[in-house]
Structure 1
Amino acid sequence: MDEECVMYPPVFAVDSQAGYPVPPRPPPRRRSTVQWLLFLLVSLALCGMAVEACFIYHLYSTRIPSGRTEKSYQDKNDIETAPLKTTNHVVKPSAPAAHLTALSLPPRSDGVLQWTLEGYSFTHHMQYRDGVLVVEEEGYYFIYSKVFFTEPECASFTHAVLCNTQRYLGGDTELMQSRRFHCRSQWKRKELLNSYLGGVYHLSKGDSIYVKAQNHTQIVRHISPENFFGAYMI
């Protein structure tokens, strides 16, 4: 009974007055050399970008004043919308030449074909009048002609180039000729045919050359590139 009433002191007791040493604070960590180098490089890069931006702004402000910006855009739009001016530089032949196309008029009563000076036709040191080319300089010329015609039913078609000169008597001289004779069957459709002539001849000053056709009603006159006549000095 007496043992149950005895009070025992606690096992652990904290002495608040006891003085224990405080652990020392760790020294501040020093930055490594690599970190300082990276920081320096980044700072230099930022400074370079700032200097470059200032330089570009200064250059832009000195070249294009602010008061001229809108006008520059307006000038640019005017240039873009302005029509392009084209210049036609015609290169003249180095020697006498002529090229006639488009049988715009019906042939003469004697069968001489008449041409036009429109489109790609031209004359250089050669005269053209009433279906005839007149030579102004003596020399050798390549003469050519082509006609486009329909096949006759039963008749001949003649395509010829003739020359009128004062050197020979007896009228005009036939230089080239193409003749076609064929009787087409009545069940056969009409065919479109071509006749081409070309050759080199000596012509004197004042000579005239022209194209003549028999049964010229067969010629298809509305297709100008298929009918032409010309000559040039070689």
Structure 2
Amino acid sequence: MVSIDLNSDLGESFGPWPMGDDVSMLGIVTSANIACGFHAGDPAGILAVLREAARRRVSVGAHIGYRDLVGFGRRNMDPSSAELIGDTIYQIGALQGLARAAGTTVSYVKPHGALYNTIASDALQAADVIAGIKALDPSLILMALAGAPVVEQARAAGLTVVCEAFADRAYNADGSLVSRRLPGAVIHDPAAIAERMLRMVEERRITAVDGTDIAIEADSICIHGDTPAAVAIARTVRDRLLAGGVELKSFSETIRGAGDA
């Protein structure tokens, strides 16, 4: 049976300001990218989400980002290597501590927002994030954009990498994501999103904004948790994949199982 992982960005509420429906999403996804406090999230809220993830046996990843609360981590930044390596270690370490208190563990790292898009093709910042991960825990899996140069760069450095596709984001013909500043960058129709993800799993292809088909080799599907219809989209995608005979399974479980075989 073909399997795929569903992931979502969670733990992004800040004090009295809610962001998304984390509890509902944790009942749908198999992996949760948990904010680490730099682009969003506060310790008490992050801990609560981690406890719920542990209760539901959802795999947990560190959703690290630029130090940019005001911009929600979506503004491009140019930190020094020392800063970015340190920030990477700091964020993962903080989440590891909270996860331990919640009775779970951090199994992977997924950069957020502008940092994610930058390291996809910026070899210097990618090297800094890779160095930070390796310095703290080289067994952590890096989640990255399918087809991006960072995938091979991280693998060459010795990290295990899982590639992901975005359910609700439009793609350019070169495999990059359409900028959020452009119209149509985010797709909102749950049924259309579900059908394109089933096709991605079955055929490993997605239609870009210019109408061309592009190859996507992904073992995880991201559904953003901060959009108004996030839960409806996630449920529709899950139900369509299950109806199509696709098994939903955390990639971290699959990788650990392969390592134990």
TM-score by length of 2: 0.20
TM-score by length of 1: 0.22
